[in-house]
């Protein structure tokens, strides 16, 4: 049996593929290696996968209609799909709206069409985001809450993906699980996210920009816990009577920005110079995952605290950058 992993050159996709290979699955990975951030980092992630038994890679743009089905012939034996490819980032969506239309909307429909036509396909697991909660005032964020008001185009496209998935499950009985990830960090992480940008700046002695004057809390979730959640979801397809399910995958422990900065300072042995700035458009003040249902249905239990995860990120950062 083969698992198709999209976004395999990405942060979460690469580690997901590695964990699947470790447990003996065959993995077909696809990615367009987009230039949104360092393609050198994406290639370095692919280097971790290339040469592993059972791994094949296709460089495909999901916005290229039909390219996926053409590349994966019937011999691929794809039974399960983990769809992680997307244009991420709240801030980038302010100035580059069509990147989100192509990768997230057209890309998601491309995957849905592939899955519904694929004989014997058992389960599609796809990435959603805490950004779908937008200005929801209730804490913690629960999948049972109404989520109709995202604050960024990124969040709006992720919400649209969930709705399109719901529709495909209803129409074609496609078994799907959508995972709302909460601020993922760790080794091989994304250079556009706070943990990486702060580490990079503090290490180089540059000031860091602290938005909303530091009055922000994020439910930082370590990559290993995220991948454990992805695999738990993949192994537990929803039942035929309710073929589409949604779960939060988060640490369920919102942390203030100053604590994050303090932990990075300690791990680097350097003090941060901070420039206080107002809230960025599209951002929310706090994220906090209610993981009650994820625990109950998938046995999901995050185990990595920010205190233990940040030194592991910084250690990787140093070795990757030769610092």
Contacts to ligand NAD by CB under 6 A: 7, 9-13, 31-34, 42, 61-63, 84-88, 103, 107, 127, 129, 181, 183-184, 190
Nearest by Cα to 179 from 143, 217, 222: 143
Question: Is the distance from CB of 27 to CB of 21 less than 8 angstroms?
Answer: yes
Which one, 69 or 276, has the nearer CB to ligand NAD? 69
- Got the DSSP string for 112-133? HHHHHHSTT--EEEEEEEGGGG
> Helix, strand or coil for residue 261?
helix
154 has catalytic annotation: yes
Place of tokens 């964990």: 19
Find the shortest distance in angstroms from Cβ 262 to ligand NAD.
21
Nearest by Cα to 19 from 182, 175, 188: 188
Find the shortest distance in angstroms from Cβ 240 to ligand NAD.
26
Q: Are strands 217-218 and 255-256 parallel, antiparallel or unpaired?
A: antiparallel
Identify each DSSP E strand in 38-102 by its residue range: 55-59, 78-83
Nearest by Cα to 64 from 100, 18, 106: 106
Question: Is the distance from CB of 122 to CB of 175 less than 8 angstroms?
Answer: yes
Find the shortest distance in angstroms from Cβ 6 to ligand NAD.
6
Rounded Cα–Cα distance for residues 197 and 210 (Å): 11
Find the shortest distance in angstroms from Cβ 191 to ligand NAD.
9
Question: What ranges in 151-305 are assigned the alpha helix state H?
Answer: 153-172, 194-204, 223-234, 257-268, 292-298
Which one from 36, 114, 133, 154 is the annotated catalytic residue?
Answer: 154
Which one, 9 or 298, has the nearer CB to ligand NAD? 9
Which one, 104 or 273, has the nearer CB to ligand NAD? 104
Find the shortest distance in angstroms from Cβ 202 to ligand NAD.
20
Rounded Cα–Cα distance for residues 137 and 123 (Å): 33
Find the shortest distance in angstroms from Cβ 86 to ligand NAD.
3
Which one, 72 or 86, has the nearer CB to ligand NAD? 86
Question: Is the distance from CB of 267 to CB of 314 less than 8 angstroms?
Answer: yes
Find the shortest distance in angstroms from Cβ 7 to ligand NAD.
3
Which one, 109 or 270, has the nearer CB to ligand NAD? 109
Structural tokens at position 299? 């046995």
Which one, 59 or 271, has the nearer CB to ligand NAD? 59
The residue nearest ligand NAD at its CB is 10
Which one, 63 or 267, has the nearer CB to ligand NAD? 63
Which residues, 6+ apart, have CB-to-CB distance to 69 below 8 Å? 113, 114, 117
How crowded is the C-beta side of 104, counted as CA atoms within 13 Å?
25
Residues annotated catalytic, as ranges: 154
């Amino acid at each position: 049996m083969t698992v198709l992993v999209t976004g395999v050159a990405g942060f979460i996709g690469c580690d997901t593929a590695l964990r699947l290979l470790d447990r003996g699955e065959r993995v077909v990975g696809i990615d367009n290696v987009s230039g949104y951030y360092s393609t050198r980092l994406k290639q370095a992630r692919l280097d971790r996968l290339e040469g592993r038994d059972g791994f094949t890679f296709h460089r495909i743009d999901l916005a290229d209609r039909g390219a996926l089905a053409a590349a994966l012939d019937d011999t691929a034996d794809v039974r399960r799909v983990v769809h992680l490819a997307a244009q991420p980032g709240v801030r980038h969506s302010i100035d580059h709206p069509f990147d989100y239309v192509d990768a997230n909307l057209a890309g998601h429909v491309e995957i849905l069409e592939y899955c519904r036509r694929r004989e014997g396909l058992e389960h599609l697991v796809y990435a959603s985001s805490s950004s779908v909660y937008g200005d929801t005032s209730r804490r913690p964020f629960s999948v049972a809450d109404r989520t109709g008001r995202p604050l960024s185009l990124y969040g709006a496209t992720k919400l649209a993906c969930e709705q399109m998935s719901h529709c495909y499950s209803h129409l074609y009985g496609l078994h799907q699980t959508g995972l709302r990830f909460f601020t993922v960090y760790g080794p091989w992480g994304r250079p556009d996210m706070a943990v990486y940008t702060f580490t990079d700046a503090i290490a180089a002695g540059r000031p860091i920009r602290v938005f909303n004057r530091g009055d922000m809390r994020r439910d930082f979730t370590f990559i290993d816990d995220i991948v454990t959640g992805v695999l738990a979801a993949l192994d537990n397809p929803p039942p035929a009577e309710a073929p589409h399910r949604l779960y939060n995958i988060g640490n369920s422990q919102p942390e203030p920005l100053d604590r994050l900065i303090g932990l990075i300072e300690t791990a680097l042995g350097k003090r941060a110079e901070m420039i206080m700035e107002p809230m960025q458009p599209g951002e929310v003040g706090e994220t906090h995952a209610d993981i009650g249902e994820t625990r109950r249905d998938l046995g999901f239990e995050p185990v990595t605290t920010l205190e233990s995860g940040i030194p592991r990120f910084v250690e990787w950062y140093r070795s990757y950058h030769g610092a």
